Every structure is written in structure tokens, then in C-alpha cells.
Structure 1
Amino acid sequence: MNGTALTVFIILFLFVTVLGFVAARWRRGDLSQLEEWGLAGRRFGTIVTWFLVGGDLYTAYTFIAVPALMYGAGALGFYAVPYTIVVYPIFFMILPRFWSVAKKHGYVTAADFVEGRFGDKTLALAIAVTGIVATMPYIALQLTGMQAVLGAMGLGGDWPLIIAFVILAVYTYSSGLRAPAMIAIVKDLLIYITVIVAIIVIPIKLGGFGHIFASAAKALPTHTPPGSFIPSATAFSVYGTLAFGSALALFLYPHAMTGVFSANSRKTVQRNMALLPAYSFALGIIALLGFMALAAGVKVTSSSQAVPALFLKEFPSWFAGFAFAAIAIGALVPAAIMSIAASNLFTRNIYRAYFKRSATPQHEAKVAKIVSLLVKLGALVFILGFPQTYAISMQQVGGILILQTLPALVLGLYTRWFHRRALLLGWLAGIIYGIYMWGSTGYKSTVYVLHIGGAAIGAYAAIWALILNIVVTVVLTWVFNAAKLSRGQDTTDEEDYQLEANA
């Protein structure tokens, strides 16, 4: 057990725990209301939203998994950097419209919008269930980052993880979205300090980036399976579709929507889409930690242990504890937001829609708080009860699932032409085909090779599934419109999507 690192870790962890409970008094609101508990009253400005959404999207698993993929597979892992650059210009156009219509009609979830836009509870249910299913293993996967740093400090067993998530559950229950928003500020400061120190100190100690890249290029081909410092020509389509598909999927996740809906104005959302690429700079440095671990001669049984092992080897124990705290706190922030987002979906689009239509906002908040506890418990059981590799493979399919909500959520923002039943059947076709492609690899990869006219094209399965989804939706929309099937009632107006007023 590394006593110095553990002491620093515990001090910082206790500090953010106190912040989690204090957050209930921050920007006071009636936490018995779902909109206050689950969206902090939609009152977060540019700076807080930047920390919240950034802390939501750049998780502890990012800090562990991206360099781990670089450590094990090489250049393919770098796709995470361009996709987080591409995503913001795309959603700069989309998310302000989403915020405006959500503010106007009091939508708490994306599925609320779908029900209002298309007048179809079944389609809204499909969107809600997809969001919850895609989010659950994502929450569980945050624990892999925490497990890696706890193990590096010599804390074995499950009890440290259980204690951490009990604390998380309690202050999320009491403070709602305000807790991860306040903690995200501390988390990001810790991570930026860690990244800046790492990019300066480690290359100096290892002899510069030239030596780091040369060492990585030499080590990667010796791995099983072999890695590559530069992707082969056959991997270009895989790299490109992974980046593009991940970019399209990122802000469709419920936790990303929750962070956006908590902003206090349309302009706040726009500013954040312009400012958030700053995180991509940090991510690029984080990715290179995988190559640094190769150059440092780090040997681990699991690639997820590469970064903690690198920090222990290259830094004094006190700074390693500081970095480990940044990673662990980086797990708590997104896990809290994800559990809140999942509980909002269940409460608004399953419980109220099908079990208690007369539920008051206070009753909704009570249900959401309880469900948020159950979601965290389910995630904890998932990660403790199944092999970690299974959890990772389950997370890989999250992008395939959530991307099938794009036609209803994104295209539905701009046009009412698509038929509600066509959207539902297109969603179903995409989900089934996506899972089939994933299953055909033995549930080991989300890359699928499609044979078209004698050519074999490998690509991210989510893109193939989305193409099928859109084709089915368009064709069936023509059919259903020609048959004059009921289109449902649209409760929104065009001016609702342009709302500018502050909350």
C-alpha cells in the first residue's frame, strides 16, 4: 500500500464529498421539484455549464481507456481526439434549438421532446429505454477508472469502491444536479494540473517526444494482437467512421442532454459549443500517455493499468495521489449526471406516462431520487458481478444503440415530415441490425466488414445501422403518408425552436 499517495487521495476525496452536500444550498431552489433536482432549475451560466458538460463528457474512463487503447493498439486509439473536435461544430447548430424548445415546453428529457413533437408515447418510450440501456453500462464503466487507481495504491477488494459509490449516492440524492456541477469545477482543475505537469515532466524524463514515439513504434508490433504506430490503409474507413459515428452519438446520450438543458439560455449553449474544444487539447495529451507508458517500459497485465503504473513510476508518491484523485473524482461527476439523466427518463417517460399520469412535480422528484439510487446500485452490481472485459464490450455497443435515436431527435428538430410509425420501425431496424453486427463478432468488436459489389468495407457498426435506420424511416414515411395513417399531434411551433430568453 502506498501510504503517501493514499493520504493525498483521501484528503481530496473527502473535500469533494463535503462539496457534494454543500451543493444543496448552492443557487437555492426547491429540490422537491424535478426540474430543480434534475436540471438545477435551468440556471447554470456559461462557466458552470462548461465545467458541467466537460466533466460529463470527459470521464475517468477517458483518462484511463484512451491511453490504454493507445498503449495496446496504437494509432487507432487516437480517433477519440478528432471526434471530439468534429462534434462541436455539428451540435453548435443542433443543441440551441433543443434548448429553446425544451425551455418553452418544460421538457426535462429528450424523450419528452419526441412525445411533444410527434404525439407518440410509444416512440418516446423507445427513446427513453434506449437512453437508459445505453447509459447503465456507461455508469458502471466509470468504476474501471476508479478500480485502476485504487488498485495502484494497494487497495484491493470491492469495499473501497462500494464506499465511494455509497457516498456518491447519498449526496446526489440530497443535492441533485448541483452536486456534480460544483464538483466538476474541482475535478477539471485537478485534471488540467495533472495533464500540464505530465506533458512537461514525463517527456523530459524519457528523453523527449522523439524517443517516446520511436519506442512506441518499436513496441506496438510485439503486442498480441499486434498494434500499429500508423494505421494501415485498410483501417482508414474504420478510423473515420469510429470518429464520425462517435461524434454524432456523443450529445445524444441522456447525460449530455441533461447538462445542456440545465443551461440558463440559448446563448450559453452556443458559447459552450465554442469553448468545449479546449477539452480536446487536454484529451490529445492524455492519449499520448499510452505511448509514454510504452517508452517508460511499463509492463501491466491489463492496459487499463498503464496510466496509474506510469504515474507511480515517473512521479513522487504525493503527486501520484493527486493524479489518482483527479481520475477518481472524474468518475464520480459523470456517474452522478448519468444516474440523474437515467432517473429523469424513467420518471417522465415510463413511470408518469404508463403508471401514474397524474404525478405532481414533487412526486416525480421523489421517484427520480429513488430511481437514481437504484441505477447506481445496478451499475455497482454490474461491475462487481461481471468480468471487467464484459463491461467494456457492453459499453462499446452504447454508441450503436444511442445513434439510432438520431432520426427522431435531430431530424425531428428540423422537420415534421417523418411519420411517427416510420421513425419507430426505423429505430427498431437499426437496433436489431446493430446488435446483430456486434454479435457476429462474438461481442468483441463494434467494427463490421460489409461486402458491397465485391469490395470489403470495414466501418463502425453504428454507422451501418444508422444508414439502415434512415432508409427504412424514409421509405415507410412515404408509404404511411400515402396510406394517410395518423401522424399524431405536434404541440410545438417553429418559433419555439428560436426562443432566446434567459431562464
Structure 2
Amino acid sequence: MNGGVNGVALAVFVFFFVLVTVMGFRAARWRKAENEHSLDEWGLGGRSFGTWITWFLLGGDLYTAYTFVAVPAAVYAAGASGFFAVPYTILVYPLIFTFLPRLWSVSHRHGYVTTSDFVRGRFGSKGLSLAVALTGILATMPYIALQLVGIQSVLDVMGVGGSESTHWFVKDLPLLIAFGVLAAYTYSSGLRAPALIAFVKDGLIYLVIAVAIVYIPLKLGGFHEIFAKAGDALAQKDPATGKPRGELASGPDAQWAYATLAFGSALALFMYPHSITATLSSKNRTVIRRNTTILPLYSLMLGFLALLGFMAIAAGIKVDNGQLAIPQLFENMFPDWFTGVAFAAIGIGALVPAAIMSIAAANLFTRNIYKDFLKPGATPEQETKVSKLVSLLVKVGALVFVLGMDKTVAINFQLLGGIWILQTFPALVGGLFTRWFHRWALLAGWAVGMVYGTLAAYGVASPTQEHFGGSNAAIPGIKETGYIGVTAFVLNVLVTVVLTVVLRAVKAPDGVDETRPEDYTADAPAPAPRPAASAGAPGGDAGRPDDDRPEPVPAP
């Protein structure tokens, strides 16, 4: 890293940070509703966002500072394997086109705010709903922490605080300020703040990528020279393993791991609570369908973004922490003023998803733990107050995680979060199309997937870490290495199917389904939502069988 503080870049960064801070607080008055003290208003923006607002919000939500920093950092460190993020973001949009409109419709009809709300209503099981909620919170926490890591990496390269400062307060003060501002405007404005800021964030990112993909290759002698230098560097052997550092193109030994990681990540992306929160803020199901057709524009951007990893190699960037490679590339290659713009794109790219993630985690706690188990009679005002407070606590937890632990631990736990969140897929997506799966079988399958995935990830070592060193491991029964999340998911589905057959055969009691077939295709709210089904046993896991109700049918 360059010595001293890059004053020009810092000034530009501060300008954009102040701009989005003002926008964040002003967002409280943007599209303000009469009944502002409800979770629908604070946590879902009144469910009123149109196509373009939703597009920017989802883009700001899914393509985070961690994406901006970590995807090219993976390419910088290991070569072609880092490109897995590109095919998985291509696979995910046809997938979500099939089920997100159905989730929006049934959630709109019944006032569901979280995926756990839907699971409880569909299967009549608070126990299964609690499992989904806890998984979502656990998977989201390290994801928020990584957004703060992204901000910290930019501050470190600019010479503001960072690892070179000796006093802990001086070192962490800029991050503490950023955290305080984020917490304040999220508390006051809810989802409207990141929705408004996302316009600035995405605009900056598109600008920086467009300039970088042209300007940096011109300075490095063109893409032919970049690929030649990157290929030579990646072919050199790693002293720790004795193997080549990486590959310019994936070889046969890495293809199964690459494919399963891309496929599993595609299945998991819209299981994350923040993805669903942004989706449910849309004003109708047509908005969801339109967004699944235009969101792939971000995949094009992501492909260009990944190429920055090869550019960092060709530019001779040398860093101990791979997460600093791209910020350092920007500082070395760009004029100082545009370096500030690039750093602002990364910094704001952390604020938007961090805000949405904290709101999503808070909504899960409020609706599916606080209201379901602690205070069933909570009013909408009380729900909103609790969710606001929990959103602050979630950010504090993420900040403590970042300040008190090695950054690689945060990255590894985020990889573990992907394995965990994938285990909610059968209950959520399966429940949107059929009620054949038994609630107890779904809970058992979830538990098997969670336990296997956690233990398998624990056993993965890396040159720098004895446990949780990655997300790929040997697949039982075959010699290939693959994504642990997919293996755990397959075990989850097998257990769910087998136990469902058994439980149906012995006529185990079914929960009460409070939804109807027409709820999954409707584009307008029902005249009056039906009350939640009553439960005959603690936790809501017992109720009358509902076999006479017609099964929901897929949307035409």
C-alpha cells in the first residue's frame, strides 16, 4: 500500500458518504404513508416500489461491497474458480421467475413479512417457522459483517485508520463513524433509506466498472498482455501446498466443484432474508417478473468485475490480504479523484445491503420469535419498535464480529451461512407449489442438512486455517470434490421425502394450511385476511387435518 493518507481520494469519498447520509435521513419522508408505525411501512417500504426502484434495490441488495471486493479477489488468488459467481447469477433468474411471483402473491394476501411467516401459514407449524427464522438470522449476521469488512478495506488502502494505526480507537474510528451513520438512518427510515441510496450506489458501480474495463487494460498493454501475465503468475507453485497457485481456465479436476458451487449458490441466493425483503417491497407481481428479466444486466457487470482480478495480477499488485487487491489496484491505476469515486462505490455498496440485511434479520426476530413465542398479542406499533431496536443490535453484533475477529473468520462463516440458508429451500420453495411434504419431515430434513453441512465445513482445512477453511469437500461415495451445501441439500431432500412417505402412511397429524390456491396467483389483496390457524399444542405443531382442501396449482 502507498504510504500516508490519499487526501484527494478521501475528500471525494467523504463527499459521497455525506451525500448518501443526507439521502438516508431524507428517505423517511419519501413516499411517507399515513400509517407509518407498521412493519409493512418500516420494513417493506409500504410494499409500494415499482419496477425501477425494485431493480435498483435488488441490485444494491445482491451485488454488495463484498461482491465488489471478494469476487475479483478470488480470481486474483486462485484464477478461474473465482468466476463461479458469474454463471450462478445467470442460473438464478430463471429459477426465481418460477416461484417469486407466487411468494409475493400469497404474502400480499396474508400480510406475510418474512419467509417464516409463509412457512408457518402454509404448514401450520411454528416449530418449522422458527427453524427457518433462526437459520436466516444466523446466515445473515456474517454477511453484514463482510459489508463492514469491505468498508474497512477501502479505508485501509486510503490510509485512514486501518491496520497500520496502533491505537484501537484511531484504527477503528472511521468504521465506527460509518456504522453509527448507517444505524441511525436505518432506524429512522427503514427500507426506504437503502432503496433511495441504491440509485447512487448502482450508478457509481456501473461508472467505475465501465471506466476500469477500458482504462486499466489500456495502461497494462491490452487484455492479451493481462491474460499472459496472469497465466504465468497463476502457474507458479504455492510454497505452502507445492501446487500451482491457480488456473487461467478451470481444469478437469476443478469442474465438479465449480459446477456444484455455482448451482448451490444459485439455489441459495434468494433464500437469504434480505433478498426476500427487497422482493416483498414490490407493489405487484408484475414488478417481480419484469425484474427477473432485467436483473441479468448485473451479471454482465459481474463478469467485467471478475476480470479485475486478472488485472491486479498483471499490474503486479502484492498484498497479504486478498481483499485489498482491488482497492489497491484502483489506487495504483486511477487518478486520485477517480480513486475516490471508486472507493465511494465500494463503501456505499456496503451500506445499502448492510441496511437491508439488518432490517430483514430484525423482521425475522420480531415476527417469528417475538410475536410467535414471546408476545403473541403485539400491536403493529410494538412490532415496528422491536424491529427497529433489533436492527441496531444486529449491526452491533456484526461490528463486534469485525473488530474482534480475524477477517478470514468472517469470510468462512459467510460461506457456512450459504450452506445453512440452502437448507430452507424445501420448506419455502416446495411449500409454494405443493403441500405434500409433511411439516415434521421438513423439520427433520432441515436438521440433517444443517448438522451435516456444519460438520463437513468444520472438517475443511486451508493453508491458513485448520477448520472452516472453505466450502468444498469430498462428496461421500465418489472421488469428486463438490460444494458442501449441495450435498447437505440432497440429504435434506432425501430425508424429507422418505419421512413424508412414512408419516403419510401412518396418518401423522397435519398442520392447518391457511392459504388457498387462488392466493398464489392473485395480484391484489383479499377483502379480509383470514385469521391464522389455531394450534392444539404448544408451538402450533398440532391441528386438524386439512386433506379436503384443494392443492394449490402452479401459476399459468
- What TM bracket, shorter-length normalisation? over 0.9
Tell me the amino acid that sits aligned with residue 68 of structure 2. F
- 1:328-347 matched pairs, under 5 angstroms: 328-347=347-366
8 Å CA contact 1:446–1:460 kept in 2: the answer is: yes
Instruction: Supply the distance in 2 between the matched residues of 1:221 and 1:96 (Cα, whole angstroms).
Output: 46
Q: How do 1:283-294 residues align onto structure 2 when only pairs under 5 Å count?
A: 283-294=302-313
Partner residue, 1:367: 386
Question: Match for 2:474: what amino acid?
Answer: V
Task: Determine the structure 2 residue equivalent to 1:458.
Answer: 481
Could you tell me which amino acid in structure 2 is paired with residue 178 of structure 1?
A: R
Identify which of 177, 186, 191 aligns with 2:200.
Answer: 186
Q: CA deviation at 1:153?
A: 0.7
SS of the residue corresponding to residue 197 of structure 2 reads: helix
Secondary structure of 2:479's partner? strand
1:144, distance to aligned residue in structure 2 (A): 1.6
* Higher Cα Rg, which structure: 2
Q: Is the aligned partner of 1:399 residue 2:418?
A: yes
Alpha carbons 1:53, 1:259 under 8 Å: kept: yes
Letter paired with 1:275:
I
Query: Which structure 1 segments of 5+ residues have no match?
Result: none
Query: Which of 106, 111, 115 matches 1:101?
Result: 106
Identify unmatched segments of 5+ residues in structure 2: 162-170, 461-466, 527-556
Match in the other structure for 1:491:
514
* Residue 444 in structure 1 maps to residue 469 in structure 2: yes
Displacement, 1:222? 2.4
Alignment check: 8 A CA contact 2:109 2:525 kept: no
Residue 73 in structure 1 maps to residue 75 in structure 2: no
**1:440, distance to aligned residue in structure 2 (A):** 1.4
Residue type of the alignment partner of 1:56: D
How far, CA to CA, are the matches of 2:106 and 2:525 in structure 1? 13
Question: Which has a greater percent of helix?
Answer: 1
Q: State the Cα distance separating 1:232 from its structure 2 match.
A: 1.7
Does residue 414 (structure 1) correspond to residue 433 (structure 2)? The answer is yes
Q: 1:47, 1:417 → 2: CA distance? A: 37
Checking the alignment, whether the CA contact within 8 Å between 1:115 and 1:124 is kept in structure 2 is yes
**1:78-477 pair list within 5 angstroms:** 78-156=83-161, 157-222=171-236, 224=238, 226-441=245-460, 442-452=467-477, 455-477=478-500
How far apart are the structure 2 equivalents of 1:301 and 1:190?
A: 28
* Contact 1:72/1:223, CA 8 A, preserved across alignment: no
Distance 1:222 1:104 in 2: 58
Query: Quick one: structure 1 residues 19 and 502, their matched pair in 2 at CA, closer, same or farther if it must change by over 3 Å?
Result: farther
Match of 1:4 among 4, 8, 13: 8
Q: Is the 8 A contact 1:118 1:488 kept in 2?
A: yes
The residue type equivalent to 1:210 in the other structure is H
1:84-142 Cα shifts (integer Å, max 9, x gaps): 01100111111000000000000000000000000000000000000000000000011
1:133–1:451 CA distance, 2 compared to 1 (3 A): closer
Match of 1:43 among 42, 48, 51: 48
Aligned residue identity for 1:311: F
TM-score norm. by structure 2 comes to 0.89
Give the whole-Å Cα distance in 2 for the aligned partners of 1:102 and 1:40: 15
The CA distance in 1 between the partners of 2:36 and 2:483, in whole Å, is: 41
Q: Deviation at 1:223?
A: 5.7
The question of whether the paired residues in 1 share the 8 Å contact of 2:109 and 2:524 is answered with no
Q: TM-score of the superposition, structure 1-length normalised?
A: 0.99
**Deviation readout 1:37-64 (Å, 9 max, x if unpaired):** 0001100000000000110000001000
Q: Which amino acid aligns with 2:128?
A: L
* C-alpha deviation, 1:451, in angstroms: 4.1
Q: How many residues align?
A: 501
SS in 2 for 1:397: helix
User: 1:245 is matched by which residue type in structure 2?
Assistant: G
1:225-279 CA-partner distances (Å, limit 9, x unpaired): 5111121201110000000000000001000000000000000000001010000
How far does residue 392 in structure 1 lie from its aligned partner after superposition? 0.8
Q: Does 1:481 align with 2:495?
A: no
Summarize deviations over 1:144-203 as a string: whole Å, max 9, x none.
211111011101211100110100000000000000000001100011000000011001
User: For 2:394 and 2:476, how far apart are their aligned partners in 1?
Assistant: 40
Any conservation in 2 of the 1:31–1:175 contact (CA below 8 Å)?
A: no
- More divergent stretch after superposition (281-290 vs 217-226): 217-226
Partner Cα distance (1:221, 1:301) in 2: 19
Distance in 1 between residues matched to 2:267 and 2:134, nearest whole Å: 19
Percent identical among aligned pairs is 59
